[in-house]
Amino acid sequence: MTRPAVEDAERERVGGELAALARTLYERGWMPGTAGNVSVRLPGGAALITASGRDKGDMTARDMVVVPAGTAAEAPGPLRASAETAIHSAIYRTTDAGAVIHVHSPYATAVACRVGRRTRPASLRIERFELLKGLGLAEPAHTEVPVFPNWPEVRRIAADVAGHLAATPHAPPVLLIADHGVTTWGRDLAQARNRLECLESICRLLLLTGSGLPAEGREDRS
Ligand SMILES: [Zn+2]
């Protein structure tokens, strides 16, 4: 009967890692207020994710919610998972990701505003930058980062993400949501975070150089 205790200890350890990362991302200004969410896949396919509505600069290992495998709904408990949990679940269902990070970091979000459309997916082509090597791409010379519409119903965003990843085996482990933010994933939190840092830096360079971005002030964003 020691297994539940082992599982509890593991969740406490993983929850501590999630809380520490959320604090770090909050301090960088990438998770303002209660925005953003971080998750780790647990043994058996469930996921542990930061709870909704909690200040991301003040989290502890107890501020986490278990999302059962194959669903986007949290297990019963006092804390609620974010609606954006559906996007994490879509990534766990369609890739071998071990950890997912979603933030509203300024440069990636600004690029998502410039490139994204309101009612249909768009794509951001990135090439040349040395930092592409940090994204974990099959072909590091260039990539196409999908930019999904920011539907008011998060499940609709999640369905777009799942459909894209299922149909695109070599899709980069990063995506943008128009007017909203960025999501990255990897085998663990460290790898997902590295990819996030590289994409945020690339987006900063894109804005500094203006290369590969549509002109500002575009009228038609449908
Ligand atoms: Zn968000």
Per-domain residue ranges for the chain?
3-209
The residue type found at 12 is E
Distance 102 CA to ligand 1 centre (A): 6
Q: What is the pLDDT of residues 168-189, one digit of tens each?
A: 989 999 999 999 999 999 999 9
Distance 67 CA to ligand 1 centre (A): 18
Structure tokens at 46: 């469930």
Across the chain, the runs of DSSP E, i.e. the strands, are 37-41, 47-50, 64-67, 99-103, 122-127, 142-148, 174-177, 181-186
Q: What is the pLDDT of residue 185?
A: 98
Distance 3 CA to ligand 1 centre (A): 35
Distance 62 CA to ligand 1 centre (A): 21
Q: Please name every residue paired with 51 in a beta bridge, in sequence order, or none if there are none.
A: 81
Q: What is the pLDDT of residue 76?
A: 61
Q: What is the pLDDT of residue 72?
A: 59
Distance 155 CA to ligand 1 centre (A): 13
Distance 105 CA to ligand 1 centre (A): 10
Distance 25 CA to ligand 1 centre (A): 13
Distance 1 CA to ligand 1 centre (A): 40
Q: Output the CA torsion 25→202→122→153 (10° steps).
A: 0
Q: What is the pLDDT of residue 1?
A: 45
CA dist., res. 167 & res. 3, Å (int) = 38
Class (C level, CATH) for 3-209? alpha beta
Distance 34 CA to ligand 1 centre (A): 10
Q: What is the pLDDT of residue 53?
A: 86
Distance 179 CA to ligand 1 centre (A): 10
Distance 37 CA to ligand 1 centre (A): 7
Structure tokens at 205: 């360079």
Q: What is the pLDDT of residue 27?
A: 95
Q: What is the pLDDT of residue 54?
A: 85
Q: What is the pLDDT of residue 112?
A: 97
Structure tokens at 81: 């998972």
pLDDT beneath 50: ranges in the chain? 1
Please answer whether residues 96 and 57 qualify as being in contact, where contact means their C-beta atoms are separated by less than 8 angstroms. no
CA dist., res. 39 & res. 68, Å (int) = 12
Q: What is the pLDDT of residue 71?
A: 64
